[in-house]
Structure 1
Amino acid sequence: MTGASVVPPGLRAAFDDHLAHADDTGATALALDLLRSGASAEEILLRLIAPAQAAVGARWVSTEWSVAREHAATHVSERAVSAVAAAASASRPRTSAPGRRVLCACVEGERHTLPARITAEVLRLRGFDLTFLGANVLVPRLVSHVHRQGPDLVALSCMIPVRLPAAHRLIDCCRRAGVPVLAGGAGFGPAGVWARTLGADLYAPDPATAADMLAVRWPDRPRETAPLEHLADEEYSRIVRQRTELLRRLLARLRERYPRLCDPGAEHAEAVLEDLGRIPDVLAAANYVDDPRVLTDYLSFGVAFLHARGMPTSALGLALGILSGPLGDLPRASAHLDAGRRWLAAAGQAVPPE
Structure 2
Amino acid sequence: MTTAIRQASPGGAYADYLDCLTEADEYAAIEVALGLLSRGVPAERVLLDLVAPAQAEVGERWARNEWSVAQEHAATHISERVVAAIAGQAGPRPTRGRIVVACMDGEWHALPPRLVAEVLRLRGWQVTFLGASVPAAHLVSYLHRHDAHAVALACALPMRLPHAHRMIEACRRSDVPVVVGGRGFGVDGRWARRLGVAWSPDAPGAADLVADERALRRVPPAELSHLADDEYAGLVRRRAELIDGALADLRERAPATQSYTPAQVDSTVSDLGYVVDFLAAALYVDDGSLFTEFVEWLAAILTSRGVPAAALGLTLEHFGRVLRDFPRAVGYLDRSRLLVTPAGAPSNG
- Structure 2 length normalisation: TM-score? 0.90
Determine helix, strand or coil for the equivalent of 1:133.
Answer: strand
- Larger mean CA deviation between 336-345 and 11-20 belongs to 336-345
Q: Check whether the contact 1:159–1:186 (CA below 8 A) recurs between aligned residues.
A: yes
Unaligned runs of 5+ in 2: 1-7
Q: CA deviation at 1:263?
A: 4.3
For 2:326 and 2:228, the matched residues in 1 are separated by 13
For 2:168 and 2:346, the matched residues in 1 are separated by 37
Q: Check whether the contact 2:195–2:222 (CA below 8 A) recurs between aligned residues.
A: no
Q: Which amino acid aligns with 1:149?
A: H
- Larger mean CA deviation between 168-177 and 157-166 belongs to 168-177
- Quote the residue 1:138 is aligned against: 135
Q: CA deviation at 1:168?
A: 0.3
- Quote the residue 2:305 is aligned against: 309
Q: Check whether the contact 2:26–2:78 (CA below 8 A) recurs between aligned residues.
A: yes
- Quote the residue 1:20 is aligned against: 22
Q: Are the structure 2 counterparts of residues 103 and 328 from structure 1 closer, same or farther at C-alpha, using a change threshold of 3 Å?
A: same
Determine helix, strand or coil for the equivalent of 2:188.
Answer: helix
Q: Check whether the contact 2:179–2:200 (CA below 8 A) recurs between aligned residues.
A: yes
Q: Which amino acid aligns with 1:44?
A: V
Q: CA deviation at 1:70?
A: 0.8
Q: Check whether the contact 1:179–1:222 (CA below 8 A) recurs between aligned residues.
A: no
For 1:21 and 1:106, the matched residues in 2 are separated by 29
Work out whether 1:233 is the aligned partner of 2:229.
yes
- Quote the residue 2:188 is aligned against: 191
Work out whether 1:112 is the aligned partner of 2:115.
no
For 2:339 and 2:290, the matched residues in 1 are separated by 12
Q: Check whether the contact 2:317–2:334 (CA below 8 A) recurs between aligned residues.
A: no
Q: Check whether the contact 2:247–2:269 (CA below 8 A) recurs between aligned residues.
A: yes
Unaligned runs of 5+ in 1: none
For 2:129 and 2:185, the matched residues in 1 are separated by 20
Q: Are the structure 2 counterparts of residues 352 and 309 from structure 1 closer, same or farther at C-alpha, using a change threshold of 3 Å?
A: farther
Task: Determine which of 64, 68, 80 is the counterpart of 1:78.
Answer: 80
Q: Which amino acid aligns with 1:34?
A: L
Q: CA deviation at 1:205?
A: 1.0
- Quote the residue 2:158 is aligned against: 161
For 2:86 and 2:33, the matched residues in 1 are separated by 7
Matches within 5 A, 1:171-186: 171-186=168-183
Q: Check whether the contact 2:209–2:216 (CA below 8 A) recurs between aligned residues.
A: no
Q: Are the structure 2 counterparts of residues 223 and 27 from structure 1 closer, same or farther at C-alpha, using a change threshold of 3 Å?
A: closer
Work out whether 1:279 is the aligned partner of 2:275.
yes
Aligned-pair identity (%)? 47
Q: Are the structure 2 counterparts of residues 216 and 237 from structure 1 closer, same or farther at C-alpha, using a change threshold of 3 Å?
A: closer
Q: Are the structure 2 counterparts of residues 180 and 217 from structure 1 closer, same or farther at C-alpha, using a change threshold of 3 Å?
A: closer
- Larger mean CA deviation between 221-230 and 323-332 belongs to 221-230
Q: Check whether the contact 2:150–2:210 (CA below 8 A) recurs between aligned residues.
A: no
Matches within 5 A, 1:243-322: 243-265=239-261, 271=267, 274-322=270-318
Q: Check whether the contact 1:63–1:308 (CA below 8 A) recurs between aligned residues.
A: yes
Determine helix, strand or coil for the equivalent of 1:63.
Answer: coil
Q: CA deviation at 1:113?
A: 0.4
Work out whether 1:340 is the aligned partner of 2:343.
no
Q: CA deviation at 1:21?
A: 1.9
- Quote the residue 2:52 is aligned against: 50
Determine helix, strand or coil for the equivalent of 1:156.
Answer: strand
Task: Determine which of 30, 38, 43 is the counterpart of 1:36.
Answer: 38
Determine helix, strand or coil for the equivalent of 2:280.
Answer: helix
Q: Check whether the contact 2:196–2:220 (CA below 8 A) recurs between aligned residues.
A: no
Q: Are the structure 2 counterparts of residues 268 and 7 from structure 1 closer, same or farther at C-alpha, using a change threshold of 3 Å?
A: farther
Q: Check whether the contact 1:178–1:223 (CA below 8 A) recurs between aligned residues.
A: no
For 1:278 and 1:148, the matched residues in 2 are separated by 36
Work out whether 1:152 is the aligned partner of 2:149.
yes
Q: Which amino acid aligns with 2:17?
A: F
Q: Are the structure 2 counterparts of residues 246 and 101 from structure 1 closer, same or farther at C-alpha, using a change threshold of 3 Å?
A: same
Deviations 1:277-304 (A, max 9, x none): 4101111111111110110110121121
Q: CA deviation at 1:190?
A: 3.2
Q: CA deviation at 1:102?
A: 1.1
Q: Check whether the contact 1:318–1:353 (CA below 8 A) recurs between aligned residues.
A: no
Name the Cα RMSD after superposition: 2.5
Q: Which amino acid aligns with 2:146?
A: Q
Q: Check whether the contact 2:152–2:179 (CA below 8 A) recurs between aligned residues.
A: yes
- Quote the residue 2:126 is aligned against: 129
Determine helix, strand or coil for the equivalent of 2:306.
Answer: coil
For 1:270 and 1:210, the matched residues in 2 are separated by 38
For 1:28 and 1:212, the matched residues in 2 are separated by 28
Q: Check whether the contact 1:314–1:349 (CA below 8 A) recurs between aligned residues.
A: no
Q: CA deviation at 1:29?
A: 2.0
For 1:101 and 1:267, the matched residues in 2 are separated by 45
Q: Check whether the contact 1:180–1:222 (CA below 8 A) recurs between aligned residues.
A: no
For 1:267 and 1:170, the matched residues in 2 are separated by 33
- Structure 1 length normalisation: TM-score? 0.89
For 1:348 and 1:119, the matched residues in 2 are separated by 44
- Quote the residue 1:211 is aligned against: 207
- Quote the residue 1:6 is aligned against: 9
For 1:226 and 1:267, the matched residues in 2 are separated by 41
Q: Which amino acid aligns with 1:306?
A: L
Query: When the two structures are aligned, how many residues end up with a matched partner?
Result: 342
- Quote the residue 2:4 is aligned against: none
